[in-house]
Amino acid sequence: MEQETSKQMLDRLLAAHYSEAEAAKREGKLVAWATSISPQELLETMGITTVYPENHAAAIGARKNAEGFLARSEANGYSVDICSYARVNLGYMELLSSPAGNIPLPDLIFCCSNICNTVIKWYENIAKELGVPMILFDMPFNHTYEVEEGSVRYMKAQILSAIRRLEEITGARFDEDRFREVMRVSTETARWWKQASLVAAAKPSPMNGFELFNYMAAIVCMRGKADGTEIFRRWAAELEEKKARGAGPWKDAEEKYRILWDGIACWPYLSDTYKVLKKYGINMVTSTYPDSWTILYEAGDLDGMARAYSSNYVNRNLDFGVNNIAGLVETFSLDGVIFHSNRSCKFMDFRQLETARQVEARTGVPTVLFDGDQTDPRAFSLAQYETRIQTLAETMAARKGVGA
């Protein structure tokens, strides 16, 4: 029998991820909701079924089904100005049915503020509405370039407290050996995720970067599982094979320009945004995103784990953000950078204008910013997007001395 491709494996495991969660709930097992870059190692160690509302909201958005959920939460008094993942999820919490798949209600929620403070508010509300316990990992924003030792100590203390609380909640013992193994697997998966994303540095890139958005579901949901490692190991091998053949991202078009996409995708317009880029021969070869899950530390090293979780790029200062993108411009031989000014994410947005200026000054590559939203279809205009991309293409062409 022919080996499954990484994509087949991804689809199969994602379907199983959702159906197994529903089965677990039916069987009376504990289900957790967790933020996308939280220390899932603890839940995996305890054998707690975990689903990720951000991932689910993105799937609902990509299926163009967000409106009903948004309408429900807005009818409940949520402002249209807050994160649309939160609005979709808080609406889903009542409607409990989506063509994009369903997630069972949680018995426990697990929240890590290394991605934003918004998740604290969002999860606080879930906990209150459903009367379930919430475990918070608070990661103070790093205004210094490196994560300070005080923050690492604080984070480590929270991990230890969380372990004690999980023991109380489940009545089971936290198995240190198992924990060590999950830490090893999680790091291994993260390494392969990084490895796969780096293959796109080849020219032409064998990866059409929007694939990153698809595979992201697995790095969020399966980082602590051996199956997750396998998906990315296979994907990296497939990409290496394409690279060896000199294959580009598309069969029917040539990669003319290589860009970085800063921020979350516009899920309801995933295909539209992709097609506009492709029309101009623009391949998104990387994003600021992949490194979010490149959470690397030695198995058994709690300090290292605490530091790795605190180090997420969005939780780092402006200098780090600029260096990060400037480094990616070099590594991936980029021609331009696209900034998604995402109405849902003030945390990413309010540094973008300056980051764009500094990246341009440092690297010389042009940047463009467009207005959109991760899941609210009302906050995006395809016409504006296309105009901005067209301008970027023209600027990139002028820099390269070729016609667009």
Q: Which amino acid is at 257?
A: Y
- Give the one residue of 128, 279, 378, 400 binding other proteins; rule: CB under 8 A: 128
CB-facing half-sphere around the CA of 241: CA atoms within 13 A: 7
User: Which residues have C-beta within 8 Å of that of residue 338, sequence separation ≥ 6?
Assistant: 259, 260, 261, 262, 284, 367, 368, 369, 370, 388, 389, 392
- Give the one residue of 77, 171, 364, 403 binding other proteins; rule: CB under 8 A: 77
CB of 90 to other proteins, least distance (A): 8
- Considering only the stretches 28-36, 157-165, 218-226, 359-367, report the one whose residues sit in contact with other proteins under the rule CB under 8 A: 157-165
- Give the one residue of 117, 331, 384, 391 binding other proteins; rule: CB under 8 A: 117
| By CB under 8 A, residue 341 contacts other proteins | yes
| By CB under 8 A, residue 153 contacts other proteins | yes
CB of 216 to other proteins, least distance (A): 21
Q: CA-to-CA distance for 345 and 98, rounded, in angstroms?
A: 24
| By CB under 8 A, residue 34 contacts other proteins | no
101 closest CA partner among 187, 197, 19: 19
- What is the side-by-side strand order in the sheet with 336-342? 282-287, 257-262, 336-342, 367-372
Contact 260, 368 (CB under 8 A): no
Kindly tell me the burial class for residue 283, based on how many C-beta atoms sit within 10 Å of its own C-beta (0-12, 13-18, 19 or more): buried
Of 11 and 349, the one with the shorter C-beta distance to other proteins is 349
Q: CA-to-CA distance for 40 and 158, rounded, in angstroms?
A: 14
- Give the one residue of 15, 16, 96, 353 binding other proteins; rule: CB under 8 A: 353
Q: CA-to-CA distance for 239 and 47, rounded, in angstroms?
A: 33
- Give the one residue of 121, 275, 362, 378 binding other proteins; rule: CB under 8 A: 121
| By CB under 8 A, residue 375 contacts other proteins | no
Q: List contacts with other proteins (CB under 8 A).
A: 73, 76-79, 81-83, 86, 113, 116-118, 120-122, 124-125, 127-129, 134, 136-138, 140-141, 143, 150-151, 153-154, 157-158, 161, 317-318, 341, 343, 345-347, 349-351, 353-354
